[in-house]
Amino acid sequence: MPMKLEAVNDFVIKFANVNGSGSASANTLFAKAIMRMGVPVSPRNIFPSNIQGLPTWYEVRVSEAGWLGRRGGADLMVAMNPQTWEKDVVEIEPGGYLFYDSTKPLHTDKFRSDVTVLAMPLTEICNATYSDPRQRQLFKNIIYVGALAALLDMDIAEVEKLVAEQYKGKEKLLEPNLKALHLGRDYALAHLPCPLGITVKRSDKVGDKVFLEGNSATALGAVYGGATVCAWYPITPSSSVAEAFARHCRKFRTDAATGKNNFAIVQAEDELASIGMVIGAAWNGARAFTCTSGPGVSLMTEFIGLAYFAEIPSVIVNVQRAGPSTGMPTRTQQADILSCAYASHGDTRHVLLFPADPKEAFEMTADALDLADRLQTPVFVMTDLDIGMNERLCDPLEWDDSRTYDRGKVLTHDDLESGKRFGRYLDVDDDGITYRTYPGTHPKRGSFFTRGTSRDRYARYTEEGSAYVDNMQRLLRKFETAKQYVPAPVLHESPTPARHGVIYYGSTACAMEEALADLELEGVPLDALRVRAFPFQDSVIDFAKAYDHVFVVEQNRDGQLRTLLINEGVLDPAQISSIAHYDGTPITARFIRSEIEERLAAFNVRPLRRSAAAGER
């Protein structure tokens, strides 16, 4: 009899499924039911770049403490995919559990001696109950959710309630789903060791938190931020931003009187066209955005340079995935930091925002629309697949109704009428940001020519070196001004004085916060700074300089944020090193902790060479 893992509200369960088997909604149902019991959950889709047949996983971390990062390992594996059996079995923690469809029982050498096997003849039960092949497939998923509810001692009423919500208005489907749920539960209660050592117990740690997908939050941010034009081209993992924008707009932006749309969404022919439309719309005074991922940004760079140089507000949501090239299109990374910060030829620098969760994705997308107008420049919202395509628990979204859109320096008809000479690129306020007019504003004044070619302060084409330098210097001034408008970094100070610092950003945050807490408990104090935007405020550079050593935790091979920090802050590369996780899965607290511990241990070892050399003398 193997030893058994024991834990209440603190474990990882992983579902190994076959893509296209309809498991997604059953798995989400399972995660949501735990959340409804007041226990924080954090699910992650791990899926391949294909539509049907290949393996897909859904990993649910249950954590009373509220940790939302991946932990690593699985305490209970629901192994529904024979293709990945070997790999899945290996992943189970010692003392863990393996749930499988025993319609065709497996030989004992297929199992591990330190794992408890939970065998349930799912296919057999389905075949006996349902005649339609699709039903057999779909209900199999609900049946295992019912069984798990019993095994984990979950409140079946919560699951039932969720099923009822899901099939509201489709009563025909409700009954059979509830029946399947009970079929699974009854079997487990009768035949399996219910409850297991790992269980879910009702708690109150969820509070008023919401369970929300990042891409949907991003899209809602665009709605609240006043975007009226969205031009996009399908690419995983960003497509659902545009699709959610369309959904939210249909709900919130249809003119009640006429039924017409207060928005325009165009699925463009490619990314070149989508950013072109954004630029055209923004030039003409509408708030516009596009959503894409790395390959799309690559295609957009010529236009992004135009938007930078011609000073046209444009918002680009980059839901990052693993590159280079097609890389791992359905895996997560933070690997477009440099290519976005300096996108395009020539000297350019762009504003980047780094949301850490769906709530920030919502806020920063709305902010990006303000910032782009204020600064008249491209602004990137740098989310990633981990935030974008997973549901996360986060604080409820908030909106201040007194907030008004910052349309930046736009001269109206009356402004122009009242007189002074308008110069499109005159730095009147000495902050690098100049005044613009929308086309058609005034019959005689305020029109100007927009071009990606060099021009003077009155927007007249010129190749005079001095006018070019004057303009490029002003653009630098503007970038400096941007620091005061972008979101400030968040500091986590250790209660005990720390010699070392950590910088992190974006989706890494949830794992990082857990790692920091663990390290603190182990007596490793670290000060940490979560960077939320580029350009870096002075406080970011000051932080990077203030410690013996600073780690930059990120999800790419080359430590791109580290490079950007060194470059922009003129930092000593020896004093700042990167902790890089880039296999396409979201970074874990375990990984961060062990990397930091290892490095710190290495710092404490006295350099042998030097002492030996000293002895020789």
Touching another protein, residues 17-36 (CB under 8 A): 35-36
**CA triplet 499, 504, 507: central angle to 5 degrees?**
150
As measured in angstroms, the least distance from the Cβ of 281 to another protein is: 4
Cβ distance to another protein smaller for residue 265 or 571 = 265
90: exposed, middle or buried (Cβ count in 10 Å: 0-12, 13-18, 19+): exposed
| CA distances in angstroms from 57 to 17, 74, 297, 323, listed in the order given | 6, 12, 28, 21
Report the distance separating Cα 525 and Cα 223, nearest Å: 42
Cβ distance to another protein smaller for residue 376 or 563 = 376
Cβ distance to another protein smaller for residue 8 or 467 = 467
Contacts (CB under 8 A) with another protein, residues 398-417? 398-401, 404-405
Is residue 19 within 8 Å of residue 55, measured between CB atoms?
yes
As measured in angstroms, the least distance from the Cβ of 510 to another protein is: 18
**CA triplet 27, 329, 290: central angle to 5 degrees?**
95
Would you tell me how many other CB atoms lie within 10 Å of the CB of residue 170?
A: 9
- Given the rule CB under 8 A, which of 118-126, 169-177, 227-235, 607-615 is the region that contacts another protein? 227-235
As measured in angstroms, the least distance from the Cβ of 460 to another protein is: 4
Structure token pair of residue 301: 């760079």
Cβ distance to another protein smaller for residue 427 or 456 = 456
Q: Does residue 449 touch another protein according to CB under 8 A?
A: yes
Cβ distance to another protein smaller for residue 137 or 447 = 447
As measured in angstroms, the least distance from the Cβ of 449 to another protein is: 4
**CA triplet 384, 386, 389: central angle to 5 degrees?**
90
Q: According to CB under 8 A, which one of 87, 110, 202, 451 is a site residue for another protein?
A: 451
Q: Does residue 132 touch another protein according to CB under 8 A?
A: no
Q: What is the largest CA-CA distance in the chain?
A: 91
Report the distance separating Cα 72 and Cα 95, nearest Å: 15
Q: Does residue 182 touch another protein according to CB under 8 A?
A: no
Q: According to CB under 8 A, which one of 100, 139, 144, 211 is a site residue for another protein?
A: 211
Strands (E), 200-302: 210-213, 229-232, 264-267, 288-292
As measured in angstroms, the least distance from the Cβ of 455 to another protein is: 9
As measured in angstroms, the least distance from the Cβ of 157 to another protein is: 16
Which residues, 6 or more positions from 165, have their beta carbon under 8 angstroms from its beta carbon? none
One character per residue 297-336, x = contact with another protein (rule: CB under 8 A): -----xx--x------------------------------
Cβ distance to another protein smaller for residue 20 or 423 = 423
End-to-end CA distance of the chain: 63
Q: Which amino acid is at 12?
A: V
Question: What are the beta bridge partners of residue 230?
Answer: 265, 289
- Given the rule CB under 8 A, which of 87-95, 226-234, 318-326, 520-528 is the region that contacts another protein? 226-234
As measured in angstroms, the least distance from the Cβ of 202 to another protein is: 15
As measured in angstroms, the least distance from the Cβ of 355 to another protein is: 17
Q: Does residue 440 touch another protein according to CB under 8 A?
A: yes
Handedness of CA 414, 419, 423, 425 (dihedral sign): negative
Query: Considering CB under 8 A, how many residues would be counted as binding another protein?
Result: 78
Cβ distance to another protein smaller for residue 167 or 438 = 438
Helices marked H in 115-204 — which ranges? Answer: 122-129, 133-151, 156-166, 171-191
Cβ distance to another protein smaller for residue 35 or 200 = 35
- Given the rule CB under 8 A, which of 222-230, 472-480, 517-525, 549-557 is the region that contacts another protein? 222-230
Q: According to CB under 8 A, which one of 269, 414, 430, 616 is a site residue for another protein?
A: 269
Would you tell me how many other CB atoms lie within 10 Å of the CB of residue 335?
A: 22
Q: Does residue 461 touch another protein according to CB under 8 A?
A: yes
Report the distance separating Cα 266 and Cα 180, nearest Å: 42
Q: According to CB under 8 A, which one of 117, 174, 189, 265 is a site residue for another protein?
A: 265
Q: Which of 313, 319, 295 is nearest to 350 (CA)?
A: 313
As measured in angstroms, the least distance from the Cβ of 611 to another protein is: 60
Contacts (CB under 8 A) with another protein, residues 361-400? 396-400
Q: Does residue 147 touch another protein according to CB under 8 A?
A: no
Q: Which helix (H) or strand (E) holds 59?
A: strand 55-63
Q: Does residue 161 touch another protein according to CB under 8 A?
A: no
Is residue 355 within 8 Å of residue 381, measured between CB atoms?
yes
- Given the rule CB under 8 A, which of 14-22, 449-457, 572-580, 607-615 is the region that contacts another protein? 449-457
Q: According to CB under 8 A, which one of 273, 317, 353, 524 is a site residue for another protein?
A: 273
Q: Does residue 282 touch another protein according to CB under 8 A?
A: yes
Residues 12-34 as b or e (16 or more Cβ within 10 Å = b): bbbbbbbbebebbebbbbbbbbb
As measured in angstroms, the least distance from the Cβ of 578 to another protein is: 35
Q: According to CB under 8 A, which one of 280, 327, 408, 569 is a site residue for another protein?
A: 280
| CA distances in angstroms from 206 to 202, 283, 389, 509, 576, listed in the order given | 11, 44, 21, 19, 37
Q: Which of 99, 193, 204, 200 is nearest to 141 (CA)?
A: 99
- Given the rule CB under 8 A, which of 182-190, 255-263, 469-477, 525-533 is the region that contacts another protein? 255-263
One character per residue 34-53, x = contact with another protein (rule: CB under 8 A): -xx-----------------
Q: What are residue 241's phi and psi, to 5 degrees? A: -65, -50
Cβ distance to another protein smaller for residue 456 or 514 = 456
- Given the rule CB under 8 A, which of 44-52, 61-69, 209-217, 381-389 is the region that contacts another protein? 209-217
Would you tell me how many other CB atoms lie within 10 Å of the CB of residue 172?
A: 7
One character per residue 231-250, x = contact with another protein (rule: CB under 8 A): x-------------------
Q: Does residue 285 touch another protein according to CB under 8 A?
A: yes
- Given the rule CB under 8 A, which of 44-52, 147-155, 259-267, 543-551 is the region that contacts another protein? 259-267
Is residue 339 within 8 Å of residue 297, measured between CB atoms?
yes
Cβ distance to another protein smaller for residue 435 or 536 = 435
